[in-house]
Amino acid sequence: MFNKVLIANRGEIALRVIVACKELGIKTVAVHSEADRDSLHVRYADDDVCIGPALSRQSYLNISSIIAAAEISGADAIHPGYGFLSENAHFAEIVGECRLTFIGPSPQAIRLMGDKAVARDTAKKAGVPIIPGSDGPVRTLDDAGGVARDIGYPVILKASAGGGGRGMRICWDEEDLGKAFETARSEAERAFGVADVYLEKYLERPRHIEIQVFGDSRGRVVSLGERECSIQRRHQKLIEESPSPAIDEAMRKKMGEAAVRLCQSVNYVNAGTIEFLYQDGEFYFMEMNTRIQVEHPVTEEVTGIDLVKEQILVAAGDPLSVPPGDLRLRGHAMEFRINAEDPVTFAPNPGKIREFHPPGGPGVRVDSHVYRDYVVPPHYDSLIAKLIVTGKTRPDTIARGKRALEQFVIEGVKTSIPLHRAIIEDPRFLKGDLSTRFMETFER
Ligand code: MV4
């Protein structure tokens, strides 16, 4: 087992990893920027190293500073959290070359899934359903037009190196495609350094449903149920839940088996997520995320598995602790992401938190790094807390969420709490009638 783990991240996920290490009896090293000196992850870690100025590029994305911090503090492993360097294959490689353990998948697996056109092809070869579309990138407008005519409009152009909704273009007809093709390519080139784009049939009302997967170094891969993440705005998730109101036991098994096949085909080790679009009773592979995700707690609540501890144990060579046989999800869990932002315009609202009273009681979990008088810096994402509620059924969980959101007091910065209080009263939300376009038609 590791003696000391360095956490290459900040905010709530840095605290979450420290908590897991403490429970495993492992020492921790926090790294922080100049803007994060007063952060709780710095206070709770055994050691801390300042790795640079506030700007992420100069601190949390600065590979040499992080490696140097690991060396001077005597860490033997690095947990990347989510965001920042978590899906950077080059970083994972350097960590290994420096005789440190990267707590995550291999650089090869990260690289393979980082190219979305390659990931799509890998899924197809593993027998995982994909959305009708091009075989690999489309090189010319002629090729794109040919594929689009075959599959029928509307189609969507996606950047091979993109992901998370960046660099996408919907085309309703040939004229749209003609206008979008070169723009999409040059945007992809500018944003990701690779111009490649691929094409898919555009699904008009899908749900975003993802499967949590986990592989160990003995070649075992398990699926740990799904998360429904359809409630998003500007490709930022707002609410996630497990189980999905759209998925029954038979579908869960089918999706889980498809996700496991994909992982096995790339010898996947550690935590990962297979994202699917789900529409009219069919699921289609969209992307794979090779990291622990923000919304991992909803899976922890319904499976009883501590995913972050599991990441550390598996990285140290232990077998998965999950017993063999079909997993059953227990109860229902829902996560509300609380951002320091204007609830109407969604503009970030950094500043000093004047009051902070998180809710408690049965079935309520708050994962947060903030406290009264904490100053939310303007340099990073605006997530300040995750409220996770668990109950026996979906209605019980919603009732618990409603009271917890009412009890949650945060003053000094504007937050998304009022938005969550409104969504939780929406008749479509209550029915579980969700799609990725839910927020487009949401009226407060
Ligand atoms: C799609 C789609 C419809 N059809 N692909 C957005 C994020 C990126 N991972 C892929 N995305 C989409 N791909 C096809 N063929 C709709 C979206 C999409 C979406 C997906 C999940 C959650 C929210 C979304 C919001 C807008 C569009």
Q: From first to last of the 444 residues of the chain, give the pLDDT tens digit.
A: 999 999 999 999 999 999 999 999 999 999 999 999 999 999 999 999 999 999 999 999 999 999 999 999 999 999 999 999 999 999 999 999 999 999 999 999 999 999 999 999 999 999 999 999 999 999 999 999 999 999 999 999 999 998 767 779 999 999 999 999 999 999 999 999 999 999 999 999 999 999 999 999 999 999 999 999 999 999 999 999 999 999 999 999 999 999 999 999 999 999 999 999 999 999 999 999 999 999 999 999 999 999 999 999 999 999 999 998 888 999 999 999 999 999 888 999 999 999 999 999 999 999 999 999 999 999 999 999 999 999 999 999 999 999 999 999 999 999 999 999 999 999 999 999 999 999 998 877
- The confidence score (pLDDT) of residue 318 equals 98
- Is the CB of residue 157 less than 8 Å from the CB of residue 173? no
Helix (H) or strand (E) holding 411, with range, is: strand 409-411
Report the separation in Å between the CA atom of 165 and the middle of ligand 1, taken as the mean of its atom positions. Answer: 6
Report the separation in Å between the CA atom of 206 and the middle of ligand 1, taken as the mean of its atom positions. Answer: 8
First to last CA, the chain: 51
Of 52, 47, 56, nearest in space to 11 by CA: 56
Please state, in angstroms and as integers, the Cα–Cα distance from residue 367 to each residue in 28, 73, 119, 244, following that order: 18, 27, 32, 22
- Fold (CATH) for 207-441: D-amino Acid Aminotransferase; Chain A, domain 1 (3.30.470)
- Is the CB of residue 428 less than 8 Å from the CB of residue 239? no
Helix (H) or strand (E) holding 187, with range, is: helix 174-192
- For CATH 3.40.50.20, list the domain ranges present in the chain: 4-103
Instruction: Specify the CATH number of the domain 4-103.
Output: 3.40.50.20
As annotated, the active-site residues are: 291
Q: Please work out whether the CB of residue 287 comes within 6 Å of at least one atom of ligand 1.
A: yes
Report the distance separating Cα 17 and Cα 3, nearest Å: 14
pTM of the predicted model as reported, rounded to 2 decimal places: 0.97
Nearest CA to ligand 1 atom 11: 165
Q: Please work out whether the CB of residue 164 comes within 6 Å of at least one atom of ligand 1.
A: yes
Of 132, 59, 66, nearest in space to 380 by CA: 59
- The confidence score (pLDDT) of residue 162 equals 85
- For CATH 3.30.470.20, list the domain ranges present in the chain: 207-441
Of 232, 245, 170, 165, nearest in space to 203 by CA: 170
Atom of ligand 1 nearest to the CA of 436: 23
Nearest CA to ligand 1 atom 12: 165
Q: For 132-201, give the CATH class.
A: alpha beta
Report the separation in Å between the CA atom of 318 and the middle of ligand 1, taken as the mean of its atom positions. Answer: 36
Q: Please work out whether the CB of residue 278 comes within 6 Å of at least one atom of ligand 1.
A: no
